[in-house]
Chains A and B, each alone.
Chain A
Amino acid sequence: MQIYLPIAEVSVNAFLLLGLGGIVGILSGMFGVGGGFLMTPLLFFIGIPPAVAVATEANQIVASSFSGVLAHLKRKTVDLRMGTVLLIGGLIGAALGVLIFNYLKAQGQVDLLVKLCYVVFLGVIGGLMFIESLNAIRKTKSGKPPARKKHNWVHGLPFKMRFRVSGLYISVIPPLLVGVSVGILAAIMGVGGGFIMVPAMIYLLGMPTKVVVGTSLFQIIFVTAFTTMLHATTNFTVDVVLAVLLLVGGVIGAQIGTRIGVKLKAEQLRILLAIMVLAVCGKLALDLLLMPSELYSVGAAEGH
């Protein structure tokens, strides 16, 4: 069934969009990532103009994360206090990110920068998670108990705050900084930023994995809602019909994904996410390294 999208001004198959939403939704529910880093390139691939894809994706992430957060709130696996600290950082970061984005757009190399960002971040994070999860799985198999978190530099900073749900008593500076950097990257890369925030929360802040997913979704909702409003009022590129189709699939997928996530072990969850992150990274790296079949590309003019 073909459907014409009023803002994107293209006609696409409605079931294709529902399916894409569903698959990305399952992943989103399982890992607590918004799924934007997968969905945005997929939308480019089916012919949605990039500007519309990025803006609409932000809107869709709000919805898919919302149902995910509801599921997590019910199970009390959201650290609201930590989420709020991360959110304050995130909003500051998103505003900074938009400034950086506009500066680079004026330099005419924003496409390349976005792709390089993807390759570098996905590669580093995916690689680290993969190695770490493999080690963790090997340790549990050999019967040794997993090593307890040691005190590191994070615990020496001032402005300490108690985060009961996470069982942490740490300074607010690291979570604020994590929020800011995720916000910057989210604005530049046009994604929710969960795939960066989740590992940062696990490895940098030492939060328990089960709490990490719900808390990152909580932060993502507000940052992406902010981004959606920025896009809708400045670029007019939010396509609500596209967003609704993606989210109907996505919301159902997220519910299924959350339940799968509960059943899997934390190490298995992490290694799966690592493999997925590395796969997307590899695809983008190949695009940069191999000679494209069409050397030219046509874009709307960026104004005079």
Chain B
Amino acid sequence: MRALAFLLVLLSALPALAEEVVLGLSKDTVSIDTSFDGSEILIFGAVKREAPIPDDPRLQVIITVAGPNETFTVRRKEKRFGIWVNTDAVEIDSAPSFYAVSTSTALGLSLNQTEDLRHRVSIPRAIRSIDAPATITDAESFSEALIRIKSQSNQYQLNEGTVSVDAQTLFRTAIKLPAALTEGDYQTRIFLTRGGRVISQYETSIYVRKVGLERWLYKLSRENALMYGLMSLAIAIGAGWAASAAFRMFRA
């Protein structure tokens, strides 16, 4: 009883969140079917507040979308005996398969270093546990390479200034998902910041799922691999025979 009273006192002593996110998504499920060729998700919302809008510093919004984490091996080539050979390799234990950061202004202005470290917002911070052997002194250049290569295929995106904020209350942005998408839960985070500090955070998930034939084949290949292999061979041989027969008929 006394503990409960203490808890109540403690709770009332905490300041109520001044500003909170109310969120909407154009869709919370992305279906990958046979004709899937990338997708665009509209993320929009409003800021709920009990008090008048504080004038300064201005409200900024940061939105991140992260695909399921994967382990990557990054290799570097060097010239040995006249040919280019993979020499050093660094294992990156956990990096998102897809990662997009959208901001309402330059990321450096809307988020300070400490907050970035704490919430792991910027792309380099989203990559964790770089496992480099002791012989490699420049492990950062390997994670930089991962970011560079993934950015070229639009799998890592830094979209600065693409979140539009109206009257410090309504915000919206569109995030383009590339065609090469991994299945899984895409963790979506919205940060409200003022003066580089996070004042409110909201999390939700976008589900990326294979559907129909895609889903059936994928499941069969994992859950009944022998069956799937035999089926692939049967389809191949059947189609080979059928096409050959069709060609003969066509010629005759």
Closest to B244 in A: A67
Our pick among A11, A63, A241, A296 for the contact of B74 (Cβ within 8 Å) is A296
Q: Nearest Cβ distance between residue B98 and chain A, in whole angstroms?
A: 11
- Judge whether A2 is part of the interface by a CB distance below 8 angstroms: yes
Give the docked Cα–Cα distance between A297 and B71 (Å).
Answer: 14
Q: Nearest Cβ distance between residue B180 and chain A, in whole angstroms?
A: 4
Residues of A within 8 A of B49 (CB): none
Give the docked Cα–Cα distance between A62 and B240 (Å).
Answer: 8
- Judge whether B32 is part of the interface by a CB distance below 8 angstroms: yes
Residues of B within 8 A of A295 (CB): 76-78, 145
Closest to A116 in B: B83
**A244-B235, A248-B239 known; A299 vs B75 contact (CB < 8 Å):** yes
Number of B positions contacting A (CB below 8 A): 60
Give the docked Cα–Cα distance between A67 and B242 (Å).
Answer: 9
Give the docked Cα–Cα distance between A268 and B82 (Å).
Answer: 36
User: Is A70 a contact of B79 with CB atoms below 8 Å?
Assistant: no
- Judge whether A137 is part of the interface by a CB distance below 8 angstroms: no
- Judge whether A282 is part of the interface by a CB distance below 8 angstroms: no
Give the docked Cα–Cα distance between A67 and B239 (Å).
Answer: 9
- Judge whether A64 is part of the interface by a CB distance below 8 angstroms: yes
- Judge whether B36 is part of the interface by a CB distance below 8 angstroms: yes
Residues of B within 8 A of A292 (CB): 77, 84
Give the docked Cα–Cα distance between A231 and B150 (Å).
Answer: 27
Closest to A225 in B: B233
Give the docked Cα–Cα distance between A149 and B76 (Å).
Answer: 51
Our pick among A63, A225, A229 for the contact of B239 (Cβ within 8 Å) is A63
- Judge whether A59 is part of the interface by a CB distance below 8 angstroms: yes
Our pick among B75, B210, B218 for the contact of A296 (Cβ within 8 Å) is B75
User: Is B218 a contact of A6 with CB atoms below 8 Å?
Assistant: yes
Q: Nearest Cβ distance between residue B132 and chain A, in whole angstroms?
A: 13
Closest to B93 in A: A301
- Judge whether B72 is part of the interface by a CB distance below 8 angstroms: yes
- Judge whether B140 is part of the interface by a CB distance below 8 angstroms: no
Number of A positions contacting B (CB below 8 A): 56
- Judge whether B91 is part of the interface by a CB distance below 8 angstroms: yes
Closest to B36 in A: A4
Our pick among B74, B84, B217, B243 for the contact of A289 (Cβ within 8 Å) is B84
**A11-B36, A255-B247 known; A70 vs B241 contact (CB < 8 Å):** yes
- Residue with the greatest number of chain B CB neighbours at <10 A, chosen from A6, A231, A232, A299: A6
Besides A62-B236, A66-B236, A108-B89, 18 other CB < 8 A contacts? A2-B179, A9-B182, A11-B179, A59-B232, A67-B244, A229-B230, A232-B232, A236-B221, A255-B243, A288-B83, A289-B84, A292-B84, A294-B145, A294-B148, A294-B149, A296-B146, A296-B149, A299-B74
Please, could you name 25 A-B residue pairs with CB atoms under 8 Å apart, sorted by A?
A4-B34, A6-B217, A10-B179, A47-B180, A62-B233, A63-B239, A66-B241, A236-B222, A238-B232, A244-B239, A247-B240, A252-B243, A252-B247, A255-B244, A289-B84, A290-B84, A294-B148, A296-B74, A296-B76, A296-B148, A297-B75, A298-B74, A299-B74, A301-B70, A301-B91
Residue positions of B touching A, CB distance < 8 A: 32-38, 70-79, 82-86, 89, 91, 142, 145-146, 148-150, 179-183, 210, 213-215, 217-218, 221-222, 225-226, 228-233, 235-237, 239-241, 243-244, 247
